[in-house]
């Protein structure tokens, strides 16, 4: 997704960054934890305020690490900063705020399972937008995976689709996945800058977007002043989403791709819903219903079918 690291690291961080499969487990673990963390503070903090705090904090956190790369890439950034900031507005801000709003009325398990179909949404969008060549079995896999999403969104009763009786929270999570699909497709046009430069400018765009949405749809910019009076749990969640899924997951995944290549790294994205659902059960105490198992099996089946078809095509 981003240009990998090109500098040598030392000490413990160097040893960690030389373990590709550990990195490709930690990255989806932190991304999956985003769902669990946000669900923990539903009702305690406005989702737009959580987003704004996350994006502002992530921007301030990454700037010291990215300053040298920003200076190096400044000629490109100066020409393309609106596009770079738009990546953050859509891929970071819009995706996460829709997810956080959705978690107000759906479970963490549901949100995790819906996100399992994200690879299939991206495959379908590539076919529609870029006319990417796909096999009939890949199309079948996409349709099967989307049926699994609908099974989750209707809580096991597909007949509710006819009456548009879909849980609004699951609907917001689906919209979040569509936003991330658009972000992923747009990465084809990402300017050639260092990963740290990309993240710093994109986070700045996400922070600006988060502040605008907080003012327009949330409790207003003045609500930022209420954060110091919030519970330790809210502070812990803000710190977690600001650092781990925002920065560490991006760096770890990029390094994993650098070490083993994109084709071998890509399946690690399928661990995101696994960790999200597992965390929702273990941390949030949510229950797995029969339709969760059925939906997960259907989505995994669709992914496996599409992957198998793609590998046959490659051979």
Cβ-in-10-Å burial (0-12, 13-18, 19+) of 2 comes to buried
CB 95 within 8 A of CB 174: no
pLDDT at position 238: 97
Q: Is pLDDT at 96 greater than 80 in this prediction?
A: yes
Q: Is pLDDT at 54 greater than 60 in this prediction?
A: yes
- Across the range 161-181, mean pLDDT stands at 81
Query: Residue 15 — very low, low, confident or very high, per pLDDT cuts 50/70/90?
Result: confident
pLDDT at position 303: 72
- Across the range 6-11, mean pLDDT stands at 49
- Across the range 148-167, mean pLDDT stands at 68
Q: Which residues of 173-197 are buried (b: 16+ CB within 10 A; e: fewer)?
A: bbbbbbbbbbbbeeeeebbebbbbb
pLDDT at position 9: 44
**What pLDDT digit, counting tens, does each position of 233-253 carry?**
999 999 999 999 998 998 888
- Across the range 253-265, mean pLDDT stands at 75
CA gap 55, 36 in Å, rounded:
18
CA gap 73, 98 in Å, rounded:
32
More confident residue, 195 or 70: 70
Q: Long-range contacts made by residues 128-131, C-beta under 8 angstroms, separation at least 24?
A: 129/185, 130/185, 130/188
Q: Is pLDDT at 4 greater than 50 in this prediction?
A: no
Question: Roughly how many angstroms between the first and final C-alpha of the chain, as a whole number?
Answer: 25
CA gap 219, 46 in Å, rounded:
7
Q: Is pLDDT at 278 greater than 70 in this prediction?
A: yes
Query: Residue 160 — very low, low, confident or very high, per pLDDT cuts 50/70/90?
Result: low
Picking from 68-82, 95-109, 190-204, 285-299, which range would have the lowest pLDDT averaged per residue? 285-299
Q: Is pLDDT at 118 greater than 60 in this prediction?
A: yes
Secondary structure, 3-state, the chain: CCCCCCCCCCHHHHHHCCCHHHHHHHHHHHHHHHHHHHHHCCCCCCHHHHHHHHHHHHHHHHHHHHHHHHHHCHHHHHHHHHHHHHHHHHHHHHHHHHHHHHCCCCCHHHHHHHHCCHHHHHHHHHHHHHCCCCCHHHHHHHHHHHHHHHHHHCCCCHHHHCCCCCCHHHHHHHHHHHHHHHHHHHHHHCCCCCHHHHHHHHHHHHHHHHHHHHHHHCCCHHHHHHHHHCCHHHHHHHHHHHHHHHHHHHHHHHHHHHHHCHHHHHHHHHHHHHHHHHHHHHCCCCCCCHHHHHHHHHHHHHHHHHHHHHHHHHC
pLDDT at position 128: 80
pLDDT at position 13: 66
More confident residue, 313 or 52: 52
More confident residue, 222 or 259: 222
Mean pLDDT of the chain: 85
Q: Give the residue among 123, 111, 86, 240 at the shortest CA–CA distance from 171.
A: 111
Q: Is pLDDT at 41 greater than 90 in this prediction?
A: yes
pLDDT at position 245: 94
Residue 7, both tokens: 């500098």
pLDDT at position 314: 52
CA gap 215, 173 in Å, rounded:
22
Q: What is the largest CA-CA distance in the chain?
A: 59
């Amino acid at each position: 997704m981003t240009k990998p690291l090109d500098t040598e690291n030392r000490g413990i961080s160097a040893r960690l960054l030389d373990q590709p499969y550990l990195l490709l487990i930690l990255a989806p673990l932190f991304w999956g934890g985003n769902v669990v963390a946000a669900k923990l503070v539903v009702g305690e903090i406005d989702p737009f305020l959580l987003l704004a705090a996350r994006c502002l904090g992530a921007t301030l956190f990454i700037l010291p690490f990215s300053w040298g790369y920003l200076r190096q890439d400044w000629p490109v950034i100066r020409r393309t900063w609106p596009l770079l900031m738009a990546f953050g507005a859509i891929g970071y801000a819009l995706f996460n705020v829709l997810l956080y709003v959705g978690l107000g009325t759906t479970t963490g398990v549901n949100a995790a399972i819906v996100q399992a179909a994200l690879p299939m949404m991206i495959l379908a969008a590539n076919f529609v937008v870029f006319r990417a060549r796909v096999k009939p079995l890949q199309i079948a896999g996409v349709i099967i995976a989307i049926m699994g999403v609908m099974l989750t969104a209707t809580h096991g009763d597909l007949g509710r689709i006819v009456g548009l009786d879909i849980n609004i929270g699951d609907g917001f999570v689906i919209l979040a996945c569509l936003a991330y699909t658009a972000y992923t497709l747009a990465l084809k046009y990402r300017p050639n800058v260092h990963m740290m430069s990309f993240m710093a400018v994109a986070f700045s765009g996400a922070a600006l977007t988060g502040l605008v949405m907080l003012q327009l749809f949330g409790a207003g910019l003045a609500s930022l002043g209420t954060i110091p009076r919030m519970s330790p749990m809210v502070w812990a969640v803000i710190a977690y989403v600001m650092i781990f899924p925002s920065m560490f997951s991006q760096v770890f995944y990029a390094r994993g791709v650098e070490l083993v290549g994109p084709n071998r790294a890509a399946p690690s994205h399928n661990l995101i819903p696994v960790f999200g659902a597992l965390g929702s059960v273990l941390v949030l105490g949510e229950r797995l219903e029969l339709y969760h198992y059925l939906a997960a099996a259907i989505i995994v089946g669709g992914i496996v079918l599409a992957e198998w078809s793609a590998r046959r095509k490659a051979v």
